[in-house]
Amino acid sequence: MRLMLSRFIAIIILVIPGLGAMKGFLMMKDSLFHYYAEHGNDEVARPAFEWLSFSLGLVLFGCCMTFLGGWILFRDRKRNYVGPRFKGKRNTDTAS
């Protein structure tokens, strides 16, 4: 039971940033879509870009994807799946 609960919590920790990244991507996409859609509207003289929505989406997407990338890199380092470029620095301090 304890193993199942810990796996469920780990999946929830990965799903929440995934949903956040999806929401951020959709916010950026919607901002761009509304801006380009207003160009076809003859009633709007000068279409405005939704900078706040786009910026918030960019920050949300960037933070969530950085968290997921760090999680995957940490797991792969632990299991020794990464190349030599991404291996952690080892402390070679030896006492003489």
The torsion defined by the Cα of 71, 75, 80 and 86, in degrees rounded to 10, comes to: 10
Kindly give, in sequence order, each residue whose CB lies less than 8 Å from that of residue 26, ignoring residues fewer than 6 positions away. Answer: 57
- In percent, the amount of the chain with pLDDT more than 70 equals 94
What pLDDT is attached to residue 47?
Answer: 85
Q: List the domain boundaries for the chain.
A: 15-82
How much is the mean pLDDT over the chain?
Answer: 90
Global confidence as pTM: 0.80
Cα angle 77-78-79, degrees, rounded to a multiple of 5: 90
88: pLDDT strictly greater than 80:
no
pLDDT in tens, 26-73: 999 999 999 999 988 888 788 899 999 999 999 999 999 999 999 999
